[in-house]
């Protein structure tokens, strides 16, 4: 995101927060008990209405989180349905060292070389045995050419592998590396970029910690037999892409989807989750009279979940709704879906379900409607939209679907609103 975009998003958030606070101050309902004593005979009934259709547009967007920003690499293998691999770059191999009381000299040995990774077994799926495969995926292809990377997962590029039973799996795994292989990389000035693949006796999935989780992988080796020379430790680092320089950090470690047989959400549903993850973008069309002529007491978005069969269908996941902070000036939906007001602000609750579940799910958006009432529908105003996404986005294959605005009227999204008609006081 560019700095101007960040500034716009922050300014929108500040305006939204202030508007919400003002709306809350002006609409306290508990003061109403005093009104009958001052205005005899005045009753203020609370009315209910269901707005359907309430969405002017909805769609499913794919490709989250952006490359290299995942909270871990979700390695997975499930037959012909899902195959997710990982890439870790170690582009800063030490090629020169200085022995104690000596001058700088080139590295001529890389003894006792290892690759160490930390594993996150939370929500993992482990069969009787699993095999980790490590490949040399260094290539001159463009960084964005992931197909060129996947083509290097072949027997001739295999560096090492390790097969473990389920009982042998812990939160850390160490792979011995060939000293000759590593020394060749060091002396030739090549990059060490490893590809990770996980297979097993059945469907298997787990996560590898990355730089983003604070438990990054590392390569260790000795450049000298002199015990006074410490072991060299190299963490994830990428020299490319050169422009923009900040993107190199995103390519230090990232996931690559080799196969995903998850069917499209189609036209009658929107979806969240999966790998790569999906987000549901919902744009609202609230009648203007609702903002101009009422005091909204409660507003509940009602969504009907569509049962989704497939991998991770029984794993419970949490879905949150986040208000879009982008203005109407931004027409790129993918970009808009990343400029969001923090979770829990204006959309106060969440949905905890499994993909195979069905039924009506709800989100309270009362505070959000107060913000929208104070904003305009011009290009400077915020988009009247929310995004549905999973909390552990991109970390497992579970996908949850909801019927869209193009589904049958009985299951499409609707908004249940409780409100008080606004009363104008004046001198007759």
- Among 53-62, 154-163, 205-214, 374-383, where is mean pLDDT lowest? 374-383
Instruction: Using alpha carbons, select from 241, 274, 281 the residue that is nearest to residue 255.
Output: 274
Q: What percent of the chain has a predicted confidence (pLDDT) above 70?
A: 88
**DSSP per-residue string spanning 92-124:** ----EE--TTS--EE----EEEEEEEEEEEEEE
* CA-angle at 383, arms to 378 and 388, nearest 5°: 170
Q: Do the beta carbons of residue 328 and residue 350 sit within 8 Å?
A: no
Question: CB within 8 A of 107, min separation 6: which ones?
Answer: 94, 95, 96, 97, 183, 186, 187, 223
Per residue in 296-308, pLDDT (tens digit) is: 999 999 999 999 8
pTM of the shown model? 0.79
- The pLDDT score that the predictor gives to residue 332 is 95
Task: Report in angstroms the alpha-carbon separations of 415 from 39, 279, 298, 370.
Answer: 33, 20, 10, 15
Whether the CA torsion 390, 392, 393, 395 is positive or negative: it is: negative
pLDDT higher for 290 or 375? 290
Per residue in 59-69, pLDDT (tens digit) is: 999 988 888 78
């Amino acid at each position: 995101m560019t700095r101007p975009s960040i500034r716009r998003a922050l300014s929108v958030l500040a305006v939204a927060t202030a508007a919400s606070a003002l709306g809350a101050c002006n609409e306290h309902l508990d003061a109403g008990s005093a009104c009958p004593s001052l205005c005899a005979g005045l009753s203020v009934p609370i009315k209910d209405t269901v707005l359907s259709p309430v969405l002017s547009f909805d769609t499913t967007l794919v490709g989250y989180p952006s490359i290299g920003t995942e909270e871990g690499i979700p390695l997975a293998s499930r037959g012909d349905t899902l195959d997710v691999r990982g890439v870790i770059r170690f582009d800063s191999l030490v090629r020169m060292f200085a022995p104690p009381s000596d001058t700088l000299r080139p590295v001529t040995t890389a003894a006792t070389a290892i690759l160490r990774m930390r594993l996150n077994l939370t929500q993992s799926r482990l069969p009787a045995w699993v095999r980790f495969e490590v490949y040399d995926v260094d290539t001159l292809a463009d960084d964005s050419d992931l197909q060129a990377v996947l083509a290097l997962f072949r027997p001739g590029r295999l560096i090492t592998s390790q097969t473990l039973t389920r009982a042998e799996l812990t939160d850390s795994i160490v792979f011995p590396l060939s000293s000759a292989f590593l020394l060749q990389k060091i002396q030739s000035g090549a990059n060490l970029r490893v590809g990770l693949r996980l297979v097993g006796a059945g469907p298997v999935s787990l996560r590898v910690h990355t730089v983003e989780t604070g438990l990054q992988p590392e390569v260790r080796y000795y450049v000298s037999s002199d015990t006074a020379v410490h072991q060299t430790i190299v963490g994830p680092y990428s020299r490319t892409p050169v422009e923009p320089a900040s993107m190199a950090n995103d390519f230090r470690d990232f996931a690559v989807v080799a196969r995903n047989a998850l069917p499209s959400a189609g036209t009658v549903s929107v979806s969240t989750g999966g790998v790569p993850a999906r987000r549901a973008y919902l744009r609202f069309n609230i009648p203007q009279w609702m903002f101009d002529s009422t005091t909204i007491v409660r507003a509940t978005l009602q969504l009907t979940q569509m049962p989704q069969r497939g991998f991770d269908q029984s794993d419970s996941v949490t879905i949150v709704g986040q208000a879009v902070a982008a203005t109407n000036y931004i027409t790129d939906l993918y970009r808009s879906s990343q400029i969001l007001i923090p979770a829990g602000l204006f959309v106060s609750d969440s949905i905890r379900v499994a993909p195979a579940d069905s039924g009506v799910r709800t989100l309270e958006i009362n505070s959000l409607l107060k913000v929208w009432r104070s904003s305009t529908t011009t290009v400077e105003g915020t988009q009247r939209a929310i995004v549905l996404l999973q909390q552990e986005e991109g970390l497992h294959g579970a996908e949850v679907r909801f019927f869209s605005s193009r589904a049958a009227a009985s299951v499409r999204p609707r908004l249940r609103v409780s409100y008080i008609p606004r009363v104008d006081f004046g001198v007759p």
